[in-house]
Structure 1
């Protein structure tokens, strides 16, 4: 199946909308936290923003210690805390079903690696329309709608347990927040004077410090380096120390609410894989990206094959400097290469994925 196509091209999947029912709102059961990062919550917020445009309220069900409630609330969405619940368990599904009954909602969006087929089946058996955000295709899915906005999604072997799953795959369904729905044109400068470094919501591998130290010898003295400190960083003090002694003009930015402006101001980004790579693509920001975690590898490499970024290797690899070095040099030294990256990214990702997915959810509801 080609990137961005829907499920009708595969045996066992829907080619027509589900019967219409009234859905006053949508529940979101999503994981977020220091060991999970921000990607899941950000894409669910994006989908909730798009659903809100259709007159439907999104309510988030979060674990009490996840650390993501403030960001959700700031976007105007109610948050309910699920005490002593672990995503994927029978108890958790019972709490979600009870919340749906209490609100009168019939749709639930689930974004969690712990949400396996048995869990989703319990939600579906309770009469809920189940929307799964699923990156991995591990199990046959009972979901009514499955979303994977990754550039590699069309190559995954999704199977429908129920025989009626609607697949929304590829960058046409990349769930990006509202600030990325419409990005202005940008010009690519002839030289790299500002670089953005962002590795995600947490940095368990101490990658930010390593990148700053390593970039010193690869960028001209005085180059501006905007370094994003995620909300779950445990080693921010170490980042501050290495920044203070650097010949680069380093600005540390703690948990910025909006990354789009930083991206638009940057001539180049060095980043981890995940949601950020699609945000960089839609803003036309040339990027060198690494797959920090195993589950980022296929997506980052698919984006590289599409020409939307340069693959910079894996931080756990002892050969990372050897891999990252040529990638950085290629991006810094060749403005034509940066222009091609920018153009390819914007051609692949248009920022409308959440709006498209919301339309399908509303149509199927």
Structure 2
């Protein structure tokens, strides 16, 4: 599948939107998608950052004109620096030879009118990445990886009810290094502190944090991370050089190791919050942009991070002193944050977006370990007629029998070669089969079930299919009903794909 990604970076926007799109792009490419970026020249070398991440074919839109009147219907229209209609026209022109099946857009400056126009002119699906819910949206899939009490309620007034909403840190768009990156190992003392205040930090919050550390009397090692997009980088270098036991790292390829090597992190409340959570390091969040106020207090309330509502050095110093002295509090923050994010969010989003490409292949003996894990996963066993865990020797013997039986057909569903679930058809009579299926529980809730069922039906090609679903398994019942199965009883469903032999047809 060809996927276009429309995203910008600038001093005002920062680099966070681009970083999360790069994480998604890598996951999409790993699942077999062909990805092309579209970005505008807004003062930062977004094309260079995209190329450094391994995506060479990027369409660069022209720079803004001298006069621009922001659309009052879009609170952040000024961030785009060009009229929305111009962006539509230039994006469509840039992608005319690429013909994407899907376009992902990550911009606070574009709304439903952009989504609808690009979808119509390119004939593609639209997915949006957002966290503000402050304008009308018209997308098939919405990704909001921030922490919220209820994402569906958050977007009720601006998002079509038919859209699939991938909400919460389970879908955090982190780079591929995070899933397997070493986690922070808790220490009772704060031996060192890491500071990362975002990719651009235009208001110089990194220096304010250093002032706060001085006021708090912290004498341990401090590592500050910045990027070459930081307009105050020269001054920050001087400030760091003048402070004992303080170092500066610039343009690190990823921050996983940085987050893991310090006992406390101080950072902006943007996308890097989920990276810190994944590594499981205690964090003091400092809000440097208004949109971060929607998330940071909730994380603090849930005991996932500490929150400094006042970024003034004196107020920060007070927060820091208390957190440095409170070892049990830091241990609790580390544990809670680690449970929130597992580092596989970009993979989940990519699989959800590429669900229409799901294909099945015949299962093989070497799939035994994969199938064993899915079969014994508690989330799957709760939906089975036989809910007890199966022993490995029994599983291997069962698989051998299934593979040798011509009346049973077992398939593995894959997206871009990545296994996501299994489906089996057992013949009941000359024209009927019973179907059963389950997904990798790590990929539940992505909308893969209908595609697995459809691909399995096509491969097995039975005349009639029946399914037995537990009475309390509402999601599976809904799956079969949406797939055209009719209910025969409280737990029994049937789909006749071809008329039975001898049955009259209209």
Matching residue of 1:9 = none
Q: Match for 2:320 among 305, 314, 328?
A: 328
Q: Deviations over 1:293-352 (max 9, x none)?
A: 10111111122122221001143xxxx345423421232112222111111111011111
Distance 1:158 1:39, change over 3 A: farther
Distance 1:159 1:357, change over 3 A: farther
Matching residue of 1:79 = 58
**Counterparts of 1:282 and 1:288, CA distance in 2:** 15
**Counterparts of 1:206 and 1:59, CA distance in 2:** 33
Q: Is the 8 A contact 1:88 1:114 kept in 2?
A: no
Matching residue of 2:226 = 229
Distance 1:34 1:260, change over 3 A: same
Matching residue of 1:301 = 297
**Counterparts of 1:216 and 1:324, CA distance in 2:** 11
Matching residue of 2:346 = 354
Distance 1:154 1:118, change over 3 A: same
| Stretch of structure 1 that moved more, 252-261 or 276-285 | 252-261
1:32 aligns with 2:47: no
Q: Deviations over 1:193-216 (max 9, x none)?
A: 111111111222222222212212
**Counterparts of 1:132 and 1:41, CA distance in 2:** 13
Q: How many residues get paired?
A: 336
Q: Is the 8 A contact 1:153 1:170 kept in 2?
A: no
**Counterparts of 1:219 and 1:344, CA distance in 2:** 28
Question: SS of the counterpart of 1:216?
Answer: helix
Shift of 1:259: 1.0
Distance 1:87 1:312, change over 3 A: same
Matching residue of 2:242 = 245
Q: Is the 8 A contact 1:124 1:142 kept in 2?
A: no
Matching residue of 2:86 = 91
Q: Is the 8 A contact 1:181 1:351 kept in 2?
A: yes
**Counterparts of 1:168 and 1:153, CA distance in 2:** 14
Larger relative contact order (CA 8 Å, sep ≥ 6): 1
**Counterparts of 1:35 and 1:314, CA distance in 2:** 21
Unpaired runs of 5+ residues, structure 2, are 65-80, 358-506
TM-score norm. by structure 1 comes to 0.86
Aligned residues: CA RMSD: 1.9
Larger radius of gyration: 2
Shift of 1:353: 0.9
Shift of 1:174: 1.1
Matching residue of 2:168 = 170
| Stretch of structure 1 that moved more, 354-363 or 115-124 | 115-124
**Counterparts of 1:31 and 1:54, CA distance in 2:** 24
Q: Deviations over 1:200-249 (max 9, x none)?
A: 1122222222221221232443x111011222222223222322332x30
**Counterparts of 2:187 and 2:346, CA distance in 1:** 30
* Stretches (4+) displaced over 6 A: none
> Pairwise mapping of residues 173-322 of structure 1 onto structure 2 (< 5 A)?
173-221=171-219, 223-246=220-243, 248-315=244-311, 320-321=312-313
Q: Deviations over 1:121-171 (max 9, x none)?
A: 111223210010011112332101011000027252334655421111111
**Counterparts of 1:160 and 1:243, CA distance in 2:** 45
Shift of 1:96: 2.2
**Counterparts of 1:308 and 1:88, CA distance in 2:** 39
**Counterparts of 2:299 and 2:172, CA distance in 1:** 13
Matching residue of 1:131 = 127
Q: Is the 8 A contact 2:111 2:136 kept in 1?
A: no
TM-score norm. by structure 2 comes to 0.63
Unpaired runs of 5+ residues, structure 1, are 1-23
Question: SS of the counterpart of 2:215?
Answer: coil
**Counterparts of 1:97 and 1:282, CA distance in 2:** 37
